[in-house]
Each structure stands twice: as structure tokens, then as C-alpha cells.
């Protein structure tokens, strides 16, 4: 049994089939969580009881098989990267950034952007499965595990100014939640054995973190898609210089990442959470939670539960839903645990509520989207 205000967390590994460390770490993490729970580790027991943890060790098993047949010694830099159809899955999600940046508005929408009508015909089976998965749960926080560098990368991945899209170290393109994303990235980098030192793989990133577009611009990535389509805040973790490390290096890598993997899951427990209900205590799905001063909204899940990650501070928060009068509260968020803030909305006398679906399950909305030409392959690591 789980509480309706228990947040959903996910790890996704091996999106690029030849970047295998994340796959191995997530398999080891699954075993570690089970073993420590049985041993009575109170930290792990509390984490499992308070969190719905989803782990996908391999998003690209076909690419992994190709890479594994080559082995770590003869594996080419791109061998096994793509799926069986030769497609890079991290360039295969609907390009909601383009709609946001170039929708004809100065500041286009940056949350719960509808998908284009023909999106299913434009994505690979793995991408389709992941979109349906993340639309079925009210995910709050996520990390996507890659290899080829050692850095914690946060959105946006795609630069607003595409004149610089193929250049390294281009233009910082922050989200409205930039400070929060930096904190999330630093949580991993400083809990990691050496990521926070910055100098890795012949490159340097201060604090071991980077804005994705500041590193290089990437179109149709999974990280930005999570932020623009769902309630989920996702970062991308580059975990090793060697994309296919030898078996004898795995224990050292596990020890370097173990604490960071656990500490990052714990980051889902910050900000505010609660229920949005009507006067009869029925949960309201799809209610919009807005935070004054942060232009990125999230929505309540199927049962009316919501989770809004926030840094410590005092916030003015509004819950609204069609057919109801909005409710605004001021709340203070501390550093230790999320603040519990419930909303009970009164029915609007003029506009009656209609049945709504939670935004996370919205799959057939209409939107005008521009076709994006995939960016040219560049030298060096690619997320």
C-alpha cells in the first residue's frame, strides 16, 4: 500500500546501448536497496516506504546487445549507440522546445505542452513506450544515466538561439527552475566520488555540473521533454569517460556512485506536496499548481495528489481548476522535508466543473509543431 502523497521517482539507464555503466549501476542499486531493506538500514527503509521508486536499467536493449558483442576492448565510439533501427533515442522525442521558443509568442508555454497530432508515427517503439510510461505516473524527479563524460547535466538541453547549436560551450539556456536544477545536479556531483572536482575526461565543469545548452545544444532529448510535457524534473548524469568500462572497474564505479544514487532519490522529498480536492473531499485531477515568481506550473495527478519541488523559502502558491474558485496560500519550505499543503476548492457558481484527466495521461492533444532537422553529429561525447 502507498500513500496518495507518496512521490514517484525514476531512473533510466542505457538509453544509448553502448553506454553501459548506468545499466550496471541500476541493476546493482536495485539489489542494494533490497538487501539494505532486509538488513534493517533505517535510511533505506524510510526511503522505500516514503517513495515510489521506478528503475529502468536498459531503455535500449537492442543497442546494448550490439555493443556487448563487441566487448569493451574493441567497442567503437558509436557501436551500439542507436536502437535496432539505427535511431538515436535521445534525439527522438517530440521537439517541444521548438514550440516553446518559436510558437509566435515572446514567452511560449513551458509546461504541459500538447503533443503534435502525428507524434506516434515519428517516434521509435522504445520512445513510444517511455512516453506512455511517463504519462501513466505522476513522476516528480528523474535521472537519465549516460556515459562518455563525468558531469551532471540539467535543462534546457536545447539552446534558444539555434545559430550556436553545433558549437561547444554555447549559450546558457536556463529553465524557470534553474536554481533548483543546479541544486539537484550538485547533490549528485558532490555525493559522487570525483564528479564535483570538475576536471574529468579532459574537460572541466565547475562543481561537476552544467546547463545542457551551455555545453552543446541538443534537439528532441528526453530530459527537456520531461520538463515540458510532464510534471517531472529530469537531469542527465554522465558517469564515466569510458562508455563501456571493463568488468574490473565496475566495483570502483559502484562505490563512487552508490551514495550519489541514493542521495538523489532523497531529493524528491523537498518543496511542497498535498491534495487538491473539492468540498466533498473528492480529489481533483489536473488542477494547476502555480508558484508566484516561477513561471512553470505543475498539475495534480489522477487522485488529486501534487508535488512541487522547491528550494527552501517562502512562497505564494495557487491551486486552480476549471469550474472551481482558485485558492491561494503562503507557505514556508524548510530544508529537511516537504511542507504539506492541501487545497480544497469551492465550486464556481458560474462555471461548473467538468470531468478532467490528469495532465500526465494526456496523449492526444493538438498543437502546431515545426519540423526540426536533427543536428549534425559532432566530435566528442553526445548525450
Q: Which CATH superfamily is domain 272-347 in?
A: Carboxypeptidase-like, regulatory domain (2.60.40.1120)
pLDDT tens digits for range 122-132: 999 999 999 99
Q: How does pLDDT run across 280-331, given as a tens digit for each residue?
A: 999 999 999 999 999 999 999 999 999 999 999 999 999 999 999 999 999 9
pLDDT at 83 over 50: yes
Q: Where are the domains of the chain?
A: 8-267, 272-347
Average pLDDT over the chain, rounded to an integer: 89
- Strand order, beta sheet including 294-299: 294-299, 288-291, 313-320, 327-333
The bridge status of strand 149-154 relative to strand 233-240 is antiparallel
Whether omega before 156 lies within 30 degrees of 0, making that bond cis, reads yes
Using a pLDDT cut of 90, give the percent of the chain over it.
Answer: 79
Instruction: Determine which one of 36, 238, 248, 259 is catalytic.
Output: 238
Three cell numbers written together for 381: 561525447
- Mean pLDDT over 256-284 rounds to 97
How many whole angstroms separate alpha carbon 154 and alpha carbon 73? Answer: 31
Q: What is the pLDDT of residue 106?
A: 54
The better pLDDT of the pair 171, 23 is held by 23
At 326, which helix (H) or strand (E)? none
User: What pLDDT does residue 365 have?
Assistant: 37
- Annotation says 238 is catalytic: yes
Higher pLDDT, 59 or 73: 59
**Position 333 pLDDT exceeds 60:** yes
Question: Model confidence over 188-234: pLDDT tens digits?
Answer: 999 999 999 999 999 999 999 999 999 999 999 999 999 999 999 99
SS3 74: helix
pLDDT of residue 364: 35
Nearest Cα neighbor of 308 from 232, 234, 224 is 232
Q: Is the pLDDT of residue 267 over 70?
A: yes
**pLDDT at position 375, please?**
30
Superfamily of domain 8-267: Zn peptidases (3.40.630.10)
Could you give the CA distance from residue 376 to residue 383 in angstroms, rounded to a whole number? 13
Amino acid at each position: 500500500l502507498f500513500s496518495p502523497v507518496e512521490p514517484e521517482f525514476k531512473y533510466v539507464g542505457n538509453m544509448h546501448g553502448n553506454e553501459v555503466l548506468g545499466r550496471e549501476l541500476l541493476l546493482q542499486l536495485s539489489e542494494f536497496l533490497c538487501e539494505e531493506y532486509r538488513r534493517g538500514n533505517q535510511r533505506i527503509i524510510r526511503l522505500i516506504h516514503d517513495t515510489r521508486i521506478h528503475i529502468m536499467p536498459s531503455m535500449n536493449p537492442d543497442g546494448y546487445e550490439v555493443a556487448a558483442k563487441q566487448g569493451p576492448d574493441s567497442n567503437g565510439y558509436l557501436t551500439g549507440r542507436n536502437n535496432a533501427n539505427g535511431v538515436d533515442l535521445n534525439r527522438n522525442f517530440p521537439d517541444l522546445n521548438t514550440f516553446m521558443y518559436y510558437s509566435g509568442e515572446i514567452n511560449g508555454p513551458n509546461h504541459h505542452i500538447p503533443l503534435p497530432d502525428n507524434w506516434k508515427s515519428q517516434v521509435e517503439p522504445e520512445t513510444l513506450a517511455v512516453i506512455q510510461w511517463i504519462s501513466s505516473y505522476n513522476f516528480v524527479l528523474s535521472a537519465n544515466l549516460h556515459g562518455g563524460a563525468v558531469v551532471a547535466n540539467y535543462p534546457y538541453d536545447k539552446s534558444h538561439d539555434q545559430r550556436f547549436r553545433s558549437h561547444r560551450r554555447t549559450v546558457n539556456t536556463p529553465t524557470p527552475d534553474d536554481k533548483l536544477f543546479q541544486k539537484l545536479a550538485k547533490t549528485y556531483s558532490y555525493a559522487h566520488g570525483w564528479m564535483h572536482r570538475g576536471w574529468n575526461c579532459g574537460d572541466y565543469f565547475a562543481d561537476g555540473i552544467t546547463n545542457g545548452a551551455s555545453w552543446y545544444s541538443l534537439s528532441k532529448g528526453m530530459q527537456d521533454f520531461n520538463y515540458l510535457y510532464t510534471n517531472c524534473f529530469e537531469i542527465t548524469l554522465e558517469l564515466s569517460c569510458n562508455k563501456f568500462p571493463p568488468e574490473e572497474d565496475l566495483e570502483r564505479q559502484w562505490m563512487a556512485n552508490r551514495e550519489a544514487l541514493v542521495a538523489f532519490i532523497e531529493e524528491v522529498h523537498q518543496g511542497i506536496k498535498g491534495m487538491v480536492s473539492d468540498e466533498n473531499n473528492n480529489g481533483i485531477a489536473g488542477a494547476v499548481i502555480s508558484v508566484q515568481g516561477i513561471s512553470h506550473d505543475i498539475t495534480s495527478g489522477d487522485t488529486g495528489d501534487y508535488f512541487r519541488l522547491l528550494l527552501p523559502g517562502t512562497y505564494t502558491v495557487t491551486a486552480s481548476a476549471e469550474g472551481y474558485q482558485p485558492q491561494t496560500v503562503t507557505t514556508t519550505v524548510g530544508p529537511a522535508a516537504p511542507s504539506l499543503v492541501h487545497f480544497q476548492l469551492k465550486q464556481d457558481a458560474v462555471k461548473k466543473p467538468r470531468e478532467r484527466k490528469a495532465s500526465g495521461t494526456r496523449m492526444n492533444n493538438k498543437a502546431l509543431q515545426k519540423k526540426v532537422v536533427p543536428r549534425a553529429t559532432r566530435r566528442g561525447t553526445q548525450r
